[in-house]
């Protein structure tokens, strides 16, 4: 299924039904009074978070959503039936913005949360409501009010325990595949991953959700490469796994390039717990690996591990370590 993390939709709540101007008409009842019932309330449009959804793709093909109108009132003081509410399901992590795509209306962080985005119109009053001691046969009634209508933006920020970050082709998708049952696209060229991939790690009867974020290049916070459209997914991750290809000539340069992009996007990203993993360690000899790791470790105040995604033992160590980063 194609991943979609932003969509513009139009929502229209149902109008209220009109009140009835009816009068009682029965045999042998010469002066039947007013008996017009009220109109029914229009249906509202409600957004509800759903745990099993992970994309907004459904809203690309259906962008207009209207709730039912309330039915009109009728004689014998019968109130019109209210319109059914329309419930639109969205993934956890969805944010609702006004038409300007800047003003935040609601942020879904919990399963089953509901937000009434457009309220249905009120039903009109039947003429019975206007009967009084001085006006025994009122003909007055009111029409239902119009339901609210808006154009809104839905933006999805992936919620995951661990976000895998790094430069393109660092091996992030291979790591995700090794850690979880996810099947991301894997190939030896840049930008294989063009959408965030999610997977679940099971270890010691605990589950950890991991997101593989597309590779970050210099200038990503300004829209270069795959741009800031994916940097926002890192905001919701509890911790970060920074994957670095150990075969790069300068590990510090690779590390700082990604960190600078995070800092330029939001300094809050630098406050997250970080685990550095040096990948493809099997591609260099042991002596060179030790020299590279010693040099790279200087000045770093976070944990550093090594691995090859092809070795089950090193993958198991990563799994065990990740538990401490989500507790």
Distance between CA atoms of residues 211 and 214, nearest Å: 10
Q: What percent of the chain has a predicted confidence (pLDDT) above 90? A: 37
pLDDT for 191 equals 38
State both tokens at 162: 């661990």
Burial 24-37 (b: 16+ CB within 10 A, else e): eeeeeeeeeebbbb
- 121 vs 268 pLDDT, higher one: 121
**CA end-to-end span of the chain:** 31
Per the CB < 8 A criterion, the answer to whether 12 and 118 are in contact is yes
State both tokens at 231: 């940097």
pLDDT at 235 over 70: yes
pLDDT at 220 over 50: no
Pick from 185-189, 200-204, 212-216: least confident: 185-189
pLDDT mean across residues, the chain? 83
Distance between CA atoms of residues 253 and 104, nearest Å: 37
Pick from 122-136, 229-243, 290-304: least confident: 229-243
* pTM (whole model) above 0.95: no
Pick from 32-41, 111-120, 298-307: least confident: 298-307
The 3-state DSSP class for residue 194 equals coil
133-190, pLDDT tens digit by residue?
888 889 999 999 999 999 999 988 777 788 888 887 777 778 888 887 655 444 344 4
Q: In what order do the strands lie in the sheet with 273-279?
A: 197-203, 206-212, 162-165, 239-245, 273-279, 303-306
Taking the CA of residue 15 as centre, how many other CA atoms within 13 Å lie in the half-sphere pointing to its CB?
Answer: 9
pLDDT for 105 equals 96
- 89 vs 157 pLDDT, higher one: 89
Give 145's DSSP letter: P
Per the CB < 8 A criterion, the answer to whether 99 and 89 are in contact is no
pLDDT at 226 over 60: no
Does an H or E element contain 290, and which?
helix 286-297
Q: How far, CA to CA in Å, does 111 sit from each of 50, 149, 235, 261? A: 6, 26, 19, 31
pLDDT at 258 over 70: yes
**What domains sit in the chain, N to C, each tagged with a CATH number?**
1-156 (2.70.210.12), 162-323 (3.40.50.300)
Give 188's DSSP letter: S
């Amino acid at each position: 299924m194609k991943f979609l993390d932003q969509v513009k939709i139009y929502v229209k709540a149902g109008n209220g039904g009109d009140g009835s101007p009816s009068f009682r008409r029965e045999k042998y009842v010469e002066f039947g009074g007013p008996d017009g019932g009220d109109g029914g309330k229009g249906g509202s449009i409600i957004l509800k978070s759903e745990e099993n959804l992970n994309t907004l793709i459904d809203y690309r093909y259906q962008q207009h959503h209207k709730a039912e109108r309330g039915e009109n009132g009728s004689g014998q003081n019968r109130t019109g039936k209210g319109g059914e509410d329309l419930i639109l399901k969205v993934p956890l992590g969805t944010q609702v913005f006004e038409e300007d795509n800047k003003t935040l209306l609601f942020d879904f962080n919990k399963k089953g949360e509901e937000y009434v985005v457009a309220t249905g119109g009120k039903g009109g009053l039947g003429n019975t409501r206007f009967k009084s001691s001085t006006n025994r046969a009122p003909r007055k009634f009111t029409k239902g009010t119009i339901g609210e209508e808006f154009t809104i933006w839905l933006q999805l920020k992936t919620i995951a325990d661990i976000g895998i970050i790094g430069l393109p082709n660092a091996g992030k998708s291979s790591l995700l595949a090794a850690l979880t049952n996810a099947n991301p696209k894997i190939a030896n060229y840049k930008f294989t991953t063009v959408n965030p991939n999610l997977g679940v790690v099971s270890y010691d009867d605990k589950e950890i959700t991991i997101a593989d974020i597309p590779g970050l290049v210099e200038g990503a916070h300004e829209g270069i490469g795959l741009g800031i459209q994916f940097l926002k997914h890192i905001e919701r991750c509890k911790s970060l796994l920074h994957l670095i290809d150990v075969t790069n000539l300068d590990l510090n340069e690779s590390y700082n390039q990604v960190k600078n992009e995070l800092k330029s996007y939001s300094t809050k990203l630098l406050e997250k717990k970080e685990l550095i993993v040096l990948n493809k360690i099997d591609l260099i000899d042991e002596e060179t690996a030790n020299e590279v790791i010693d040099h790279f470790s200087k000045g770093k105040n976070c944990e550093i591990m090594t691995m090859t995604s092809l070795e089950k033992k090193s993958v198991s160590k990563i799994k065990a370590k990740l538990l401490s980063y989500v507790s």
